[in-house]
Structure 1
Amino acid sequence: MSSASIKAVRGTRDLLPPETELWNRVEATARAVFARYHFGEIRTPLFEDTSLFARGVGEETDIVSKEMYTWEDRARAASEKPQSLTLRPENTAGVVRSYIEHKLGDTGNLQKLFYIGPQFRRERPQRGRYRQFWQIGAEVIGPPSSGSESPIRDAEVLEMLATLLDELGITGWNLQLNSVGSATDRPRYVAALREALAPIKDRLCPDNQRRAETNPLRVLDSKDEADQDLINALPKIADFLDEASTSHFQQVLAALDACGVPYTVNPRLVRGLDYYTRTTFEFTHSVGLGSQNALLGGGRYDGLSEMLGGPRAPGIGFAIGEDRLILTLQAQAEAAGTSSATDKIDAYIAPMGAAQNASALALARSLRREGLSIETGDGTFRLKKSFDTADKIARHIVILGEDEAATNTYTVKTFATGIQSKIERSALTAALLA
């Protein structure tokens, strides 16, 4: 066996402290914001039947045709065919599958569901994109009688996302949105797009030549610089919207105006997944993400439930690339000369001698039960080592020697001020929280 060290698979990585503290803060903030908007958490399986994504996301999309991790499960009996399974590349289809399977529409209520977890795509690894990546997402779905088609649902989701980004401290975000029309508008537009692409297809890059045949809408998403003039001259979806779709989009914009949420209408924003209808959107940011500047995206999918064999259940949702969100927070902090890490712990207890280790642990247990974050040292450490360690991770150091143990009075130094004082146990908790 080779003695070479084993490393993480290409396109994946480990998340380690203190970075995970930032991840936890982001997720805790998301959960708190979602709760205020009456969203509940849903947890779907990491893998699903492959047909779920082929039918919902679209067989001609890059996700399904090139990026999914798919395998055949073993048949349980000789008479059975192996089942094709896929690690989820996105979670909207899984949430809608769950909505159908558990008959959530039978309640007649609007379902507001959020999720946090890993997804998997075999795409080229690049900054902020990994083959196992994390998403924070939410879906609003229900029968038409629940108001699930209302433009207010679209605007509320977008206003919630603006609130979330603000509370996370993301500054300078830009909301771009568009309407891709109804199930009847979109085919008319795709036909016009194919017609317009036919005479110029050979002048496009190889990827866009392929997309022009398989999924013309994705040509509009292209970032290839050499193709931009040709793409900008293509027909615009707004010219193909019927009266109902136009009215829906105008009501979304009016609600955002009323809430004071800034936005830019981007006629090229179509998001190429097959299930999108009407409102589509992205929040972009210029710091930390390079040329691929989308923080999150989503849209309305009024026909997805029917695609998957369920009842009519209009919906709208989004997914945040958590990896990219973390990069943005770190880049912002670096640009501002601050730290994106969480605050230091409350105190580090330094026992003076191995004989005080047990007392140090007992004091730590008592303080932790009072809500403080505490680390304990070891009595074999030299005092300088204890101070150096404490200064890196804690706001205070508590010295615990024989005298302190006997009198229940502790020597406490606060690193921010340099002040060192004697504090009785009855006042210690308040002093460490100050």
Structure 2
Amino acid sequence: MIEKIHAKRAKIGIVGLGYVGLPLVLRFSEMGFAVLGFDIAEDKIAMMNGGRSPIEHISHERLGAAVVAGFEATADFSRAGEVDVLILCVPTPLNKYREPDLSFVINTVDSLLPHIRAGQLISLESTTYPGTTVEELAPRIESRGFTIGKDYCLVYSPEREDPGNPDFTTHTIPKVCGGHTPACLEAGLALYGSVIDSVVPVSSTQVAELTKLLENIHRAVNIGLVNEMKIVADRMGINIREVIDAAATKPFGFVPYYPGPGLGGHCIPIDPFYLTWKAREYGVSTRFIELAGEVNGAMPGYVVDKIKGALNDRRKAVRGSKILVLGIAYKPNVDDMRESPSVLIMEMLRDLGAEISYSDPHVPVFPPMREHHFDLSSVELSPDVLAQFDCVLLATDHARFDYDAIAAHASLIVDSRGRFDINLEKVVSA
């Protein structure tokens, strides 16, 4: 295995061709490896095989170059035996009870299982609770009669993608890797070391799994803190962003986090619940983490209350008001809608009787989502369009918005991102 990797004769299989899997496809291809991609979305597969990227920040040219180099996408999981490495990049969401849903991981492994062979390596990259690799993947592989560490390798290496961040790319972000056995770890380090600038070995898959959760829980807790500080500062008539910027001048002991309308993306709103669920197995209550989750989860409601108050001050009700939401992706300058707080805010306002529209240069049509449904397309902004709305909510501060024009022509702005001058009478900070 290691010899084949070093010689770039190992064929790489990437399972799940989304925001994590597709960048890995491109990196392995650009480093000279043959790559086979697996996904269940036939339309996405056809698109990629035609050299067209389904993700905005990944160019068609870059994907086209991978196709020319031999990359192929398929929905045929029976081809798993063709590859030497299987890297699993599938979703790990929560169920309706806010508990871990490993169905995508388990169903994927079960689909691959009849077709795997001795001499392969499986790496799980999906974020999950400590013990998943040992408790769910290892027994399934062993059921095929393979001895892990001898004739099959199993590792866990959590993804660290930040879609749309120009300062970090797949190969420049250090990669944590833990193996089921020392031999597995050695193979995993060879695999990722061939395409990633820095690989960080840890002593077990459980350590690697908990590392990923700590990274994201650290952010969730600090965002929860600053969101709560925002509410306090607002009541006191203090601009919290001015406070944060002033505190950030301290050269030690302080890291600035900024408030917003809630948490979005596939990691931060979800990952803390994976740990709190698993911790209960050990009789541990993660009160601090859960409290941060409560604060962050309440932020969309806080923004809606600010909209209600702002309209009420202008002798208008939410019911019947025309409200324009600016930005429905979960963070600036990407088309990623996963767990976007903007969508929750839109639903709350719709339930209160508001007429909802949105504008997002990265999301031209509201996409199909498992739990959220809007038959809407992005509104093109103009002075006349902005003037039509009773309230404009800045939910995601994309760089492509013309903030001066919005400030000039909107009659009321509720700003959850701190982009407008709060001294303007028409601007309400949220």
TM-score, length basis structure 2 = 0.22
- Structure with the higher fraction of residues in strand conformation: 1
TM-score, length basis structure 1 = 0.22
Structure with higher Rg: it is 1
